[in-house]
Chain A
Amino acid sequence: MFQMIQKSFWEQVRKFNSLAGISIIITIVVALAATIDRGGYLLVNTIVTGGMLALVSMGLALTLGVLNIPMFAHGEFFMIGTLVGYYVFNAISAYVGSHPESSLVFWGPMLTIVAAMIIGAVAGVITELLIFRQLRKRSRENWVMNAFLLTVGLSVVLVNGHQLFFGADFKGIVGYYSGPSLAIMDVYISRDRVFALIVAAVVVALFWFFMTYTRTGRAIRAVSQDETGALIVGIGLNGILMLTMSLSCALAAIAGAGLLFMYPSYPSIGLEPLYMAWFVVILAGLGNVLGAVMCSFMVALLKVLTIEYIGSGWDFVVPSILIILILIFKPSGIFGSEVRGVLDK
């Protein structure tokens, strides 16, 4: 027993000796140093941005790892989330305005998130059924390239669809929760940020639990690791692929609705989260879902620090440089890829 504990302890240490472990430690140290230097709001910003980024990039990593699709329309599912959030929350606000005692004051924002999640999931199912299943049926030759082009096309259609039906103006809300900011030590955090943080934490935790312990979650991982193996043990591919797509779109939509108080809805709102999520996915190693969660926080920290120390125009430049360096020196990402990458197949 003691030996086993000792053994697993050393395994953990060895894990932290790897590139992934080193980068996690560096991230934590840098985050702490910056916090001491400039104040706790940096840490809060990093965690809120990172949490939401994790939702988007987990979905992206999942589509890449399981469906083998380099998804460039993922930001548009974020956009769908913001749109659903805007309309649902406005309806709820209107109702709350005339019934100020209603319990919707508290539950309204959560309802909004759930609505965005459901619509996002439905959008994912439709995308899979109408686009990728059709492509899969017709040809699996040159799959990665064809799927990539389709996602770019889908992105254009969705962005312009938004503009056509909902207009190109900013559709934002004042905030989910009114009331004074919460103070932790001497850091003031707006209630909305706390809300976004809790949503992100709960969803990431649920998602991790789902992927690790449930039969269906394991089946998704099995498909990502070996499609033929999954078929052999009796996993129905079509169902799993559809579920994965809807799951990853739902995650993006949750992030969209969760950040609505910061980013109003407009047609090309999805571009920034898409790029950031790609940074994360490349950094983590293509298709590595749990690594993507870690790397989301790293990229968020990098972004927050860049804005803080260099200036707010640079927050895309620095991560881009990092990505170029990674692609040159460690193309498999710092966490290695848990699943086959896009190019293996």
Chain B
Amino acid sequence: MLLEVKKLNAGYGYLQILRDVSLNVDTGEYVCLVGPNGAGKSTTLKTIAGLLSPTSGEILFDGEPIGGLPGNKVTRKGISLVSEDMNLFVNMSVEENLAMGAYIIRDKKAKKKQLEFVYDLFPRLAERSGQLAGTMSGGERKMLAIGRGLMANPQLLLVDEPSFGLAPQLTENVFQSLDVLVKKGLTIMLVEQNVTKTLEVTDRGYVLENGSIELSGKSSDLADNPHVRKVFLGV
């Protein structure tokens, strides 16, 4: 098991968001976490990525406990987060942003290989390598955020709302690139609002409601589940 989360409780200050969340992700899997607004999806990812400390519970990555480690140490263990608001370095060029993504990699050759890989995946970024990140369009910034996450050569990529604020066509592109990554053997955990699309592309899913896991199973089964259909798809 690559990632194991056991009975995780977390929140902001006195406000508890996650209640006993347990989930796991196996190597090479494409797992999604869906749920209504405010269910705690982003909080779950942030807690795994070390941006929030859990109040209780365990997070094991590759069998090693990582709960409570600060974000930079979690990244060094091999988890990259593509956050919802992207957190790009807006006054750096695309290339500098990507270089910062490989901050934890010291080996120049490995860095260059990652850069080529990312440019290969998103040729658009190669075209715009000198442009300031803050001046790019929403879709390009999303690509850059994913690209930057990949630069650290992670074992697990956490992707938060890749379709948020994007036009349908661009959303499609982002989903396609994630597909490519999964086919290349990367493990991805995806948080999305676009439930129909997400359940179509992922292998397995968890449904988060009010901070706890309500349902889990194969994505195709979840898509047919009457509760999911009623709550998310309005059928």
A-side residues, CB < 8 A to B, are: 215, 218-219, 221-222, 225-226, 228-237, 338-339
Contact = CB atoms under 8 A, between A and B. Distances in A.
Interface string B67-101: 00011110110001101001111111000100111
Contacts of A339: 91
A234 B72 CA distance: 4
B108 to A, nearest CB: 11
Given A232-B81, A234-B75, A215 B89 contact: no
Given A219-B103, A226-B89, A231 B70 contact: yes
A237 B51 contact: no
A234 B152 contact: yes
B92 A222 contact: yes
A221 B92 contact: yes
Nearest to A212: B96
B75 A225 contact: no
Contacts of A232: 49, 51, 71, 75, 80-81, 83, 87, 149
Nearest to B104: A234
Contact of B99 (A218, A234, A237): A218
Contact of B90 (A219, A225, A228): A225
A215 B81 CA distance: 21
B90 A226 contact: yes
A238 to B, nearest CB: 9
B50 interface: yes
A20 B152 CA distance: 37
- Chain A to chain B: the 8 pairs with minimum beta-carbon distance, closest first: A229-B87, A231-B71, A234-B75, A234-B104, A225-B89, A228-B87, A234-B72, A226-B87
B202 to A, nearest CB: 23
For the side of the interface on B, what is the size category? 20 to 34
Contacts of A215: 103
Nearest to A223: B89
B41 interface: no
Contacts, number: 74
Contacts of A222: 89, 92, 100, 103
Interface string B21-61: 00000000000000000000000000001110000000000
A250 to B, nearest CB: 24
B148 interface: yes
Given A226-B90, A234-B152, A235-B72, 14 more contacts: A218-B92, A222-B103, A225-B90, A225-B92, A228-B83, A229-B87, A229-B100, A230-B72, A231-B51, A232-B75, A233-B104, A234-B72, A234-B75, A235-B100
Nearest to A225: B89
Contact of A218 (B71, B87, B100, B151): B100
Nearest to A219: B103
A221 B89 contact: yes
Given A215-B103, A222-B100, A231 B89 contact: no
B100 A233 contact: yes
Name which of A219, A221, A233, A234 has the most chain B CB atoms within 10 A of its CB. A233
23 contacts: A218-B92, A221-B92, A222-B103, A225-B90, A225-B91, A226-B87, A228-B71, A229-B89, A230-B72, A231-B51, A231-B72, A232-B51, A232-B71, A232-B80, A232-B81, A233-B100, A233-B104, A233-B151, A234-B103, A234-B104, A235-B100, A235-B103, A237-B70
Nearest to B82: A232
Contacts of B73: 236
A230 B90 CA distance: 12
Contacts of B70: 231, 236-237
A232 B45 CA distance: 12
B90 A231 contact: no
Given A221-B89, A222-B100, A234 B76 contact: yes
A222 B98 CA distance: 12
A268 B70 CA distance: 41
Contacts of B75: 231-234
Contacts of B149: 232
A225 B71 CA distance: 17
Nearest to A239: B72
Nearest to B96: A218
A93 B92 CA distance: 47
B103 to A, nearest CB: 5
